Amino acid sequence: MLSEPTSNDSGSKSMSDCIFCKIIKGEIPCQAVYEDDLIFAFDDINPQAPVHTLIIPKQHYVSLKDIPEEKMGFISHLMSTARDIAEKKGISESGFRIVLNTGRDSGQDVFHIHFHLLGGRRMSWPPG
Ligand code: AMP
Ligand code: ZN
């Protein structure tokens, strides 16, 4: 039976070697888009659309299912920031998609929760 990646796989679940935690700390370079006390946004290294920005909490959570109920409040702040970034990047009127991959079947590769903001081209549905 297939299992979710462990710390031995490239998509590590541990905070100490989390690529996105390293980006937040400035240990790995990125194209930063937005930062405040709670969240960080940067352009995806392998963009799937003319605009492809990742928005993440500074706190390390593996995925949506790992956030305790009482800590869910930052999601609304994150969504409103995504909306602001869409506006700043000029895709607010044309439209955009926000994607949150969670777990193996979704294709989640990096195990620090992140929202993809995608836009600038026409997208199809259903997703692949
Ligand atoms: P997911 O498949 O939802 O886990 O998405 C992970 C995303 O992280 C992919 O779109 C990658 O291109 C992106 N990514 C991985 N490493 C980096 C990096 N160093 N800087 C920016 N984006 C990255
Ligand atoms: Zn992390």
At residue 14 the predicted structure's pLDDT band, cuts being 50, 70 and 90, is confident
pLDDT of residue 7: 38
Compute the average pLDDT of residues 32-36. Answer: 98
Q: Is the CB of 108 under 6 A from ligand 1?
A: yes
SS3 82: helix
Is the residue at 92 inside a domain? yes
Which ligand 1 atom sits nearest the alpha carbon of residue 100? 3
Is the residue at 126 inside a domain? no
At residue 13 the predicted structure's pLDDT band, cuts being 50, 70 and 90, is confident
Is the residue at 99 inside a domain? yes
Is the residue at 80 inside a domain? yes
Can you give the CATH number for the domain in which 59 is found?
Answer: 3.30.428.10
Which token pair is 29?
């370079």
Compute the average pLDDT of residues 36-41. Answer: 98
SS3 61: coil
Number of domains in the chain: 1
Mean pLDDT of all residues in the chain? 92
pLDDT of residue 35 exceeding 70, the answer is yes
Ligand nearest to the CA of 114: 1
Select from 9, 17, 109 the residue to mutate for testing ligand 1; criterion: most ligand atoms less than 8 Å from CB. 109
Q: Is the CB of 99 under 6 A from ligand 1?
A: no
Q: Enumerate residues 6+ apart whose C-beta is below 8 A from 100.
A: 64, 113, 114, 115, 116
pLDDT of residue 11: 52
For residue 87, the 8-state DSSP code is H
Ligand nearest to the CA of 12: 2
Question: Do 117 and 87 touch, CB atoms closer than 8 A?
Answer: no
pLDDT of residue 110 exceeding 70, the answer is yes
Is the residue at 13 inside a domain? no
Catalytic residues: 114
